[in-house]
Structure 1
């Protein structure tokens, strides 16, 4: 597919990215918000509509390609990242997005997810995390909290949950951000940042499932509590939160500590200053651990982004190098080389 000059790119609106397929999610599902923010921000992705592809696996989130007026591929369970990798390698001019759920990508698709991160494929993964299997009617998922009572764990799951931020960071993702379905402006910003990143970008969206896991993120979304539970990450700014911005995060060695900025002992100067471009992954990993600690707020925003060559870029550079040395190659010569034989 030929990429046109972006100087002549049409001025798109959200409607240009909305298909005529009826959206079929449960009333109140957080997926509606994700779809709306993607459609609203797609005109800012810097790409022609015909060069954008959405790939999905299986799950409620995986209906996403039908609702986007772009090219799309509805794959099989857990294989969205692998299919997206193939699409990007086949045509590196495309902007490839993945819509996947916590069950789809972190369970059966976990291997494909970590290797997409490891390879640093230039694809964007939007990870819908509702801590439950919604499409199959409410079984616990890899991100469900320990002790969660569900249809498949009637006495409470004994599993320890996956932490998507730690997993992506450890696997080598060069961009990781988190947002919440009820933070539309914030989500739009995270999506635009992911689109602009060259490399593997993961945007984890905390998304409510009103039918099988309603209120999973209530402390983070309720107006009376969210300021005490949510930590907004902003590059170059200290980690401060609370209704009156009177709480901060200080690093005691490698241990994060909540400090009171009004106790007369601490000030904002004692707070950890967020650096999303830190090439040392240590602090990004510490941030990822916050959700595993009862006393820490939940970070949302860009945790870390670094830049290194992408797999698809290196792959095609190698192809061009070999062609410069050996020529373009000949299919018939390859198929009828000395390694073939006739069976009579």
Structure 2
């Protein structure tokens, strides 16, 4: 087992000598720095850390982290990350994907890594567009989005990544956005979770979908439209003057005013990260009438996939001595000599030679 003693690093220790090649102003730069600031706080060891990505702008991430990494194939990063974790459960796995990579061709793989609960951090960069392939609409693009593939506006109903994760059985679901100062806190909470930790990160694509999240994510002036969730704390926003309550007749959320700081009198809900029902309600709240729910929406751990696999391996091998040669020679076998026409039989004595139609095994 690896030594879990915190490893002392700085942000500079996680930077590579590679030129960072994203468009100037891309939100990926801010996410990269947030991750590089977070890892030293976690005491992470670069020699024990692996970044695994698929295809897309976000998937260049492993090049820019001074650790191990794989830049893999379209949509298949969750499958490869699962294999890496099973091969060496001690490794700290960070999976990087995008709304196109993770929710189109990779939707099936993403679903299974979540439901299996493989212990890793999954960062899905959501810019609601295909950036690398020049601006086509993606699974998360809003209705009406104009792009080269939807010149008159998309009529698809967009996927909601956090809702998808909850529906797939994820035990940890969180949200943040690229330039938020609180993003490292979200990433640290994801890392502390034992299991598949899913973090949707809203990311500005300055070329093909510029400022699409400005209503709640612009650097200044949008704080009143952000609901930052904290376990055990009331769901307050707009400087504490408004909150989220439950309409007990219609069983749906509603915005209430909070007077003189008395949120209890206003019926404001207290956030419980283990409440899956409320987590579903928070991810489905329509932005506009409601603020954008950010932070840790759901966190309720259960045993991990790789732990179950390790236990099964231990049980199946208990009391047994590994003997590869014995396994290979078990049953009827044939060894072919130099003269292929004259095979040397290793068939058990007394069984005779095979007939002409009998296959060699």
In the alignment, the residues of structure 2 paired with residue 272 and residue 296 of structure 1 have an alpha-carbon distance, to the nearest angstrom, of 14
| Aligned ranges 1:150-161 → 2 under 5 Å | 150-161=147-158
Equivalent pairs counted in the alignment come to 335
Aligned to 2:299: 305
- Structure 2 counterpart of 1:218, from 214, 222, 227: 214
| Aligned ranges 1:163-178 → 2 under 5 Å | 163-178=160-175
- Give the superposition deviation at 1:337: 2.9
Are the aligned partners of 1:219 and 1:229 in contact in 2 as well (CA < 8 Å)?
A: yes
- Structure 1 counterpart of 2:226, from 220, 226, 230: 230
Judging by fraction of residues, say which structure has more helix: 1
- Structure 2 counterpart of 1:330, from 319, 323, 333: 323
In the alignment, the residues of structure 1 paired with residue 194 and residue 261 of structure 2 have an alpha-carbon distance, to the nearest angstrom, of 44
- Give the superposition deviation at 1:296: 1.3
- Structure 2 counterpart of 1:196, from 173, 178, 192: 192
Unaligned runs of 5+ in 1: none
Aligned to 2:278: 283
SS of the aligned residue for 1:270 comes to: coil
Aligned to 2:38: 41
| Aligned ranges 1:104-253 → 2 under 5 Å | 104-183=101-180, 185-222=181-218, 225-242=221-238, 244-253=239-248
- Rg bigger for which structure? 2
Normalized against structure 1, the TM-score is what? 0.92
In the alignment, the residues of structure 2 paired with residue 147 and residue 153 of structure 1 have an alpha-carbon distance, to the nearest angstrom, of 8
In the alignment, the residues of structure 2 paired with residue 317 and residue 305 of structure 1 have an alpha-carbon distance, to the nearest angstrom, of 24
- Give the superposition deviation at 1:158: 1.2
In the alignment, the residues of structure 1 paired with residue 99 and residue 321 of structure 2 have an alpha-carbon distance, to the nearest angstrom, of 42
Structure 1 residues 340 and 84, CA gap change in structure 2 (3 angstroms): farther
Are the aligned partners of 2:256 and 2:266 in contact in 1 as well (CA < 8 Å)?
A: no
- Give the superposition deviation at 1:262: 3.9
- Give the superposition deviation at 1:340: 5.9
Structure 1 residues 10 and 275, CA gap change in structure 2 (3 angstroms): closer
In the alignment, the residues of structure 1 paired with residue 38 and residue 138 of structure 2 have an alpha-carbon distance, to the nearest angstrom, of 29
- The answer to whether residue 268 in structure 2 is matched with residue 271 in structure 1 is yes
In the alignment, the residues of structure 2 paired with residue 23 and residue 293 of structure 1 have an alpha-carbon distance, to the nearest angstrom, of 33
In the alignment, the residues of structure 1 paired with residue 73 and residue 237 of structure 2 have an alpha-carbon distance, to the nearest angstrom, of 41
Are the aligned partners of 1:238 and 1:274 in contact in 2 as well (CA < 8 Å)?
A: yes
Structure 1 residues 193 and 154, CA gap change in structure 2 (3 angstroms): same
- Give the superposition deviation at 1:330: 2.8
Are the aligned partners of 1:240 and 1:246 in contact in 2 as well (CA < 8 Å)?
A: yes
In the alignment, the residues of structure 1 paired with residue 332 and residue 304 of structure 2 have an alpha-carbon distance, to the nearest angstrom, of 34
Q: CA offsets per residue over residues 165-218 of structure 1, 9 Å max, x none?
A: 1110111111111001110x3111111111111000011111000000001101
Are the aligned partners of 1:259 and 1:266 in contact in 2 as well (CA < 8 Å)?
A: no
- Give the superposition deviation at 1:144: 0.5
In the alignment, the residues of structure 2 paired with residue 268 and residue 64 of structure 1 have an alpha-carbon distance, to the nearest angstrom, of 47
- The answer to whether residue 343 in structure 2 is matched with residue 343 in structure 1 is no
Are the aligned partners of 1:190 and 1:302 in contact in 2 as well (CA < 8 Å)?
A: yes
- Give the superposition deviation at 1:44: 2.5
- Structure 2 counterpart of 1:321, from 315, 319, 339: 315
SS of the aligned residue for 2:84 comes to: helix
Are the aligned partners of 2:241 and 2:258 in contact in 1 as well (CA < 8 Å)?
A: yes
Are the aligned partners of 1:54 and 1:97 in contact in 2 as well (CA < 8 Å)?
A: yes
Unaligned runs of 5+ in 2: 335-358
In the alignment, the residues of structure 2 paired with residue 323 and residue 264 of structure 1 have an alpha-carbon distance, to the nearest angstrom, of 61
Structure 1 residues 145 and 319, CA gap change in structure 2 (3 angstroms): same
